[in-house]
């Protein structure tokens, strides 16, 4: 079992904001202001040397070879992925607030990054207080809640982060199969654009989403954050059997659409498109046997660009039909 910590930030308009409610800002924008706040707060060089790539280098250089602070600095650990194969965090900003419900944002920290939660939260508080978007709209954190594995919410801090605990215990994540559930459908909601690769190519908007692709991308994500030896399921001889079984699970309904998301790359100074699939998928047959892996996917996100808010899913068993 491996550590993670998922936190929900309940937000409200700060002083001087219009109080418009509704969708506050995309996750891609939150990622940019979060990264800048970490640099401003922790980087003694004023720019992330841990991410600079010498032009003559034939292959990517490990962050620790670019900056001796990379494996201790919150920016180095989170953004440069100095201790994991991929950035060990995910962001998610759902569409909320228009109906009067709170505006929320999520940050999930994985593996060695979970202990950085006080620094990550204070950096996010600083970023939101500076203002977000072209209009520099200010947001204040009203409450921080821990999101448990059963989707429960446990309050851990109030406004100003003054009551933030100095120590927390992480939740634990593992992979497995459920041997006791009979065949029944499973619903997977793609809550934010899922950018799924098949044979090295991004699954396009018109293509269906095979169940085996979901399972493979969740296993990839777990391996990138916790290592190929992080679970017996990742052993090649076991993974091949798991994916072969997943390939036999039929897709019963595909109510997804393609959504384009715009982001900006500071490194290339150009706009990027992070489009992906959102909507509802229903799988039948033996899908329920894979519930432990699918529920891990809820926590991990799946596919590309999870740090920018992509790949957030929710998994449910549909209610039985009415007699």
CATH number at residue 254: 3.30.70.1900
Residue 29 within any structural domain of the chain = yes
Statement to judge: residues 238 and 309 lie in one domain: yes
Predicted pLDDT of residue 101: 65
Q: CB 202: neighbour CB atoms within 10 A?
A: 14
Statement to judge: residues 80 and 149 lie in one domain: yes
The last residue of one of the domains, among 148, 172, 196, is: 172
Residue 239 within any structural domain of the chain = yes
The last residue of one of the domains, among 172, 199, 221, is: 172
For residue 308, give the H/E element and its range.
none
Q: For every one of its 323 residues, what pLDDT tens digit does the chain have, with 9 covering 90 and above?
A: 899 999 999 988 766 544 444 456 788 888 989 999 999 999 999 899 998 877 776 777 899 999 999 999 999 999 999 999 999 999 998 865 445 567 889 999 999 999 999 999 999 999 888 888 777 888 889 999 999 988 899 999 988 788 889 889 999 999 988 876 677 899 999 999 999 998 888 888 788 999 999 999 999 999 999 999 999 999 999 999 999 999 999 999 999 999 887 766 555 565 667 789 999 999 997 899 999 999 999 999 999 999 989 999 999 987 766 55
For residue 16, the enclosing domain spans 2-172
Residue 321 within any structural domain of the chain = no
Number of domains in the chain: 2
Predicted pLDDT of residue 21: 46
Work out the end-to-end distance of the chain between its first and last CA atoms, rounded to an integer number of angstroms: 41
Statement to judge: residues 298 and 185 lie in one domain: yes
Residue 322 within any structural domain of the chain = no
Is the distance from CB of 264 to CB of 272 less than 8 angstroms? yes
Statement to judge: residues 141 and 286 lie in one domain: no
Which residue intervals of the chain are DSSP H helices? 27-42, 63-66, 74-78, 117-130, 211-226, 236-246, 291-300
Burial 6-21 (b: 16+ CB within 10 A, else e): bbbbbbbbbeebeeeb
Q: Note the pTM of the prediction, 2 decimals.
A: 0.90
The last residue of one of the domains, among 172, 207, 230, is: 172
Residue 280 within any structural domain of the chain = yes
Predicted pLDDT of residue 267: 57
Q: 167 exposed, middle or buried (CB, 10 Å; 0-12, 13-18, 19+)?
A: exposed
Strand partners, 132: 137
Strand, coil or helix: 290: helix
Residue 297 within any structural domain of the chain = yes
Predicted pLDDT of residue 20: 45
Predicted pLDDT of residue 14: 64
Statement to judge: residues 142 and 282 lie in one domain: no
CA distance 22 to 233: 41
**Residue 246 DSSP one-character state:** H
CA distance 128 to 141: 8
CA angle (194, 196, 200) in 5-degree steps: 155
């Amino acid at each position: 079992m491996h550590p993670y910590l998922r936190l929900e930030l309940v937000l409200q308009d700060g002083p001087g904001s219009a109080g418009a409610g509704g969708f506050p800002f995309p996750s891609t924008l939150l990622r940019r202001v979060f990264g800048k706040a970490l640099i401003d707060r922790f980087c003694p060089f004023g720019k992330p040397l841990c991410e600079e790539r010498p032009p003559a280098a034939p292959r990517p250089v490990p962050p620790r070879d670019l900056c001796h602070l990379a494996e201790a600095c919150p920016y180095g650990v989170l953004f440069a992925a100095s201790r994991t194969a991929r950035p060990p965090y995910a962001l998610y900003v759902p569409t909320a607030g228009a109906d009067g419900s709170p505006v929320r944002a999520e940050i999930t920290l994985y593996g060695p990054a979970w202990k950085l939660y006080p620094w990550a939260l204070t950096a996010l508080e600083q970023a939101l207080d500076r203002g977000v978007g072209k209009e520099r709209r200010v947001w204040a954190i009203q409450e921080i809640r821990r999101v448990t594995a059963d989707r429960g919410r446990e309050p851990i801090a109030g406004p100003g982060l003054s009551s933030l605990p100095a120590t927390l215990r992480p939740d634990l994540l593992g992979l497995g199969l459920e041997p006791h559930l009979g065949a029944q459908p499973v619903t997977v909601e793609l809550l934010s654009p899922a950018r799924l690769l098949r044979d090295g190519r991004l699954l396009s908007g018109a293509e269906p989403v095979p169940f085996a692709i979901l399972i493979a991308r969740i296993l990839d994500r777990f391996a990138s954050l916790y290592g190929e030896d992080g679970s017996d399921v990742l052993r090649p001889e076991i993974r091949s059997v798991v994916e072969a079984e997943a390939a036999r699970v039929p897709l019963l309904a595909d109510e997804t659409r393609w959504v384009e998301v715009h982001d900006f790359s500071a490194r290339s100074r150009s706009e990027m498109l992070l489009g992906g699939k959102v909507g509802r998928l229903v799988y039948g047959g033996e899908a329920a046997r894979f519930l432990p892996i699918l529920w891990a996917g809820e926590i991990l996100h799946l596919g590309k660009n999870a740090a920018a808010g992509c790949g957030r899913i929710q998994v449910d068993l549909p209610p039985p039909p009415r007699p």
